Chain A
Amino acid sequence: MKALIRRLSAAIVIVALGALPVRAQQPLDRSKIPPPGKAPELRVPTWTKATLANGIELFVSEKHNLPLVSFSLLVMGGANQFEAANRRGVASLTASMMSEGTTTRDGEALSNALQLLGTSVNVGIGSESGSLGFVSTTAKFAPTLDILADMLRHSTFPAPALERLRAQRLVQLNASKAQPGAVASRVFPKILYGTDHPFGQIVTEDTLKAITRDDVVAFHKAYFQPGRATIVVVGDITPAAAKAAVEKALAGWPAGGSKPAFAYPALPPKPPTTIYLVDKPGAAQSTFAIGITGPPRSTADYYAIEVMNTLLGGMFQSRLNANIREEKGLSYGVSSMFSFGKGPGPFRAGGDIISAKSDVALIEFMKELRGIQGSRPVTDEEIETSKASLVQSLPGMFGSVTSIGSAIGQLWLQGLPDDYYQQYGAKIGAVTKADMVRVAKQHIDLDHLAIVIVGDRATIEGPLKATGIAPIVVLDIEGNTVK
């Protein structure tokens, strides 16, 4: 009774405000799904562009609701472009070495200064791009930028620090070999691309041990150049103030360098579909990584692939997860994705599967991969949900200063047009069911898959073999063939 009274009084308030009709007296019919309200307008952030004296392009996007500013200096190209095959890991070590001291501040002084500013400068170099950046309160923007510039321009790369960092990396690498997911992520690219291709080269004990201080200094010099960099500033700052601060901090950074060509070598021939079983005795689960080399971000099939993969393994209610987790209970979660970039990043489907059901799961993975290629037709509801989940997630990309910064940065890194986000809905909307089937067939070649499974060989080898899906090659945790 009380609840009813409360609801009535709430309705009275609403009527008084003239906002809503009276509905409370009618019995609530819960069987009807409340329809959505009017779709909100997509509000894509705007930004200005300016060119600094040394040629760097500066993007500034204003957002004044909170006293925050994010700064990112992005570098086009990454470890795949700038590391030698026998020095894999030098990019990451160089990034860490930039916190080890400058000509005027040693490592502790840098750390103390940043702690007192309440922030940190993060340097990261990935496979195809790198960044040097921070988020600060508005008041701390200029002093933090000064420290970033000092790290960029005046790092001293002390040799003892390299030895300490190298030792830490070696322990991390060793520890990771007990982690099935980490093992799968090392073996999978090696199988797909081979060690002659940058995508197949991984950091090993040998490459880490080979890196010298000279390598670090040379990498830093070659890599951080204005000609391949851009700066994105987002937040509580005006374009004029941002430009003045950045010009001041980076005034002495001389022009030079150019964007890398991203010229990757040809991919190795793909062998027929094979199961690569990495033995992990006693494992309670089998870690699956099923995949193939994929297309670059510039492919004309990008939008169709996104819609197709969302349905296949990109959502909780994707076909893979709905089947293997929710219906069959074989896993805590399975998924699939394409790693889009400048090069031929992989398609990868997988997850962690209860050991005793590894064969069942493999059969289901293959069934869903065949299904998306036409044997299980895409329904109207499936394509609409996949599209809506992609298009309507756009506003979530513009919520924070860092997410806006990366949304802008992606346009620059991938060479996308300024109105990319405005056009996104129409591009996704144009994808048809036939497109989905076509790109699934074209980009997930079922006859040439690498099926990497890290698990307990004694339990799973026989059942996997009995599926007849593919021959089995047994590997050690480094990805080398076991006799």
Chain B
Amino acid sequence: MPIPTRKLVWIALVALASMAAAQQPPPATQPAPDVIKISFESYALPNGLTVILSPDHTTPTLAVTIMFHVGSKNEVPGRTGFAHLFEHTMFTGSAHVPYGLHDKLTEGVGGGNNAGTGNDSTTYYETVPSNYLESSLWLESDRLGFLLDTLDLAKLNAQRDVVKNERRQGVDNQPYGKVGEILARATYPAAHPYSWDVIGSMEDLSAASADDVKNFFRTYYVPNNAFMAIVGDFDPVQARAWVAKYFGDIARGKPVVRPVVAPATLPAERRFHYEDRVQVSRLYLEWPTIGEKNDDQFALDVLGAILAGPRTARLTKALVYDQQAAASVSAYQNSNEDVGEFMVVATPRPGHSLTEIETTIDGVIAKLKAEGPTAEEVQKAIAGEELSFVRGLESNLGKAFNLASGAGFHGDAGYYKVSYKKSTSVTPADVKRVANKYLTGGRIALSVVPNGKPDEASKLPQSKKVTGAEDTPRPEVK
């Protein structure tokens, strides 16, 4: 899922962080225990702010990140896209920080800043030379404590326009750009917190009011819903003092009420096709699975790696190399906090239909479900994770995201150790089990085809035409 951000560069950084967060060494090459380690201390202020300090003096730079446990799933129908729109207003200045100063004290001193909003969380960061820690904490604390003092409708409207352009750039004007919101709508029932995409609809973005901003801020942007990590070249004693100085007097908020998220299952297959301004058809298969609170995510990650990626992966080998019916294929588990989806996406070569490709995919998956993977397939799938993890340790920001999200989602900044261990313990039997449990007939099959070419859709007679998320029928509630 794309993560709407203040600026485009975020995407690469998130990839870096998820690389760090994504775990798993091979049993055959257990790294030295001290390699898979991030030294940190974690504590909470009396107002509930979680603080994680992790000094690393390798380079004279540091990262400050603050994650708020609020995302698009906390929105209400009619205000989709609001969590992300709100994120943008956090850069418009606060009581003591005039607009523009935030950039000047980060980017303007050789560092950077950005933020990203997902379904479950919104994360802000500053990267700065190591002598700019105090000003970074001053900036973050001022918008947490005093954003509403200067926020007005004009500032909201300016960012509303920017966000609408972000939607145009990433969704409306992008080939295959509407797939995310069509799938969300097709998978989750009405009012389900994951039934809309993070970017939201144009209509709802237009409807967001200044009062919405105030209410959202007061509800969710409170120290007891925030997780701050400081990583890099700093003195932890000094950092503790500055954190207390700048964040200590910000009042605790009311306890945050989390949405109740029902697990999603589809009783039967749902087939759709969507005509888009694309040159090449593409098939999307999506199975509702589980989120990152469920340990099946680890075996589902391995299942994705066994199915697609290197040329020896089963779908890649069958579709791209042996049959040469597809130009590309990917398979992966997307784990949000409460729910997730397993995706297979394939693009055909000329002369090969989506129907043919889907049939091959189904055959490969059926075989894997019946026989399970080999030990070597599992070993290969997890062999790269030691390197990925250690490379993630090179980045202050990657480490900061890792620590803050562990604290926010799992109540443990050191959750990466748990996740690493569980990833490395995945067995062929685990993979076989999750393949059988989740890759069932209850799925979405969405064909995206060029305008005027509905006959390129997979199994067209059984497929329903949709023109976007708006007319995509929601699943029936059991």
Contact = CB atoms under 8 A, between A and B. Distances in A.
Interface string A320-362: 0010011101111100000000000000000011100000000
A109 to B, nearest CB: 10
B135 interface: yes
A268 interface: no
Interface string B97-138: 000110111011111010000000000000101111111011
A84 interface: no
A274 interface: no
A119 B384 contact: yes
Contacts of A4: 248-249
A112 B312 contact: yes
Interface string B11-45: 00000000000000110110110010000000001
A393 B384 contact: no
Interface residues of B, number: 98
Nearest to A385: B108
A164 B322 CA distance: 10
Contacts of B249: 3-4, 7, 28
Nearest to A164: B324
Most interface-central of A42, A43, A316, A396 (chain B CB within 10 A):
A316
B168 interface: yes
B165 interface: yes
B203 interface: no
Interface in A88-111: 107-108, 111
Interface stretch (B69-77, B169-177, B356-364, B411-419): B169-177
A46 to B, nearest CB: 14
Contact of B59 (A43, A179, A401): A43
Contacts of A388: 108-110
A2 interface: yes
Given A118-B386, A178-B278, A352-B165, A316 B110 contact: no
Interface stretch (B78-86, B231-239, B296-304, B458-466): B231-239
Interface string A161-175: 000100110111011
B131 A31 contact: no
A6 B46 contact: yes
Interface in A1-24: 2-7, 10-11, 13-14, 17, 19-20, 23-24
Nearest to B146: A30
A177 interface: yes
A33 B29 contact: no
Given A3-B248, A177-B279, A396-B110, A285 B394 contact: no
Contact of A13 (B237, B277, B280): B237
A116 B162 contact: no
B328 interface: yes
Contacts of A33: 101, 105, 135, 138
Contacts of B142: 30
Most chain B CB neighbours (cut-off 10 Å) among A37, A285, A315, A322: A37
B280 A389 contact: no
A119 B108 contact: no
A120 B380 CA distance: 12
B173 A283 contact: yes
A39 B391 contact: no
B110 A40 contact: no
Nearest to A287: B173
B241 A179 contact: no
Contact of A317 (B100, B165, B238, B277): B100
Interface string A275-305: 0000000111100000000000000000000
Contacts of A119: 384, 387
A379 interface: no
A139 interface: yes
Q: Interface extent on A, as a size class?
A: 35 or more
B244 A331 contact: no
A245 B250 CA distance: 57
A394 B162 contact: no
B317 to A, nearest CB: 8
Nearest to B351: A167
A178 B95 contact: no
A284 B168 contact: yes
Contacts of B133: 37
B390 A137 contact: yes
Given A135-B391, A164-B324, A175 B175 contact: yes
A384 B120 CA distance: 39
A14 B316 CA distance: 58
B310 interface: yes
B267 interface: no
B277 A394 contact: no
Given A164-B324, A396-B127, A175 B165 contact: no
Contact of B394 (A6, A66, A178): A66
A66 B277 CA distance: 47
A164 B323 CA distance: 10
Contacts of B168: 284-285, 332, 352, 354
Interface string B328-354: 100000000000000000011110000
A207 interface: no
Contact of B349 (A107, A140, A171): A171
Most buried by A among B60, B131, B135, B350: B60
Interface in B125-167: 127, 129-135, 137-138, 142, 146, 157-162, 164-166
A39 B60 CA distance: 9
Contact of B138 (A23, A34, A118, A395): A34
A316 B61 contact: no
B126 to A, nearest CB: 13
Q: Which of B35, B108, B173, B278 has the most CB of A within 10 A?
A: B173
Nearest to B158: A329
A283 B134 CA distance: 45
Contacts of B26: 116, 118
Given A107-B311, A164-B321, A389 B278 contact: no
A468 interface: no
A466 B100 CA distance: 34
Given A175-B175, A325-B162, A316 B103 contact: yes
B153 to A, nearest CB: 14
B219 interface: no
A282 B451 CA distance: 12
A282 B277 contact: yes
A40 B246 contact: no
Given A24-B245, A107-B311, A117-B383, A352 B169 contact: yes
B355 interface: no
Given A3-B45, A4-B248, 19 more contacts: A2-B46, A20-B241, A34-B137, A36-B135, A37-B130, A38-B131, A66-B390, A112-B312, A118-B386, A171-B328, A174-B279, A284-B168, A285-B173, A315-B108, A317-B104, A331-B169, A353-B165, A395-B59, A395-B129
Interface of A: 2-7, 10-11, 13-14, 17, 19-20, 23-24, 28, 30-31, 33-43, 65-68, 107-108, 111-112, 115-120, 135-137, 139-140, 164, 167-168, 170-172, 174-175, 177-180, 282-285, 315-317, 322, 325-327, 329-333, 352-354, 385, 388-396, 398-401
Interface of B: 7-8, 25-26, 28-29, 31-32, 35, 45-47, 58-61, 95-96, 100-101, 103-105, 107-111, 113, 127, 129-135, 137-138, 142, 146, 157-162, 164-166, 168-170, 172-175, 233, 235, 237-238, 240-241, 244-246, 248-250, 277-280, 310-312, 320-321, 324, 327-328, 347-350, 379-380, 383-387, 390-391, 393-396
12 contacts: A2-B47, A3-B45, A3-B46, A19-B238, A43-B59, A116-B380, A135-B387, A316-B103, A332-B8, A385-B104, A395-B59, A401-B394
- Which 5 A-B residue pairs are closest in the complex by CB-CB distance? A392-B110, A329-B161, A40-B60, A171-B327, A37-B131
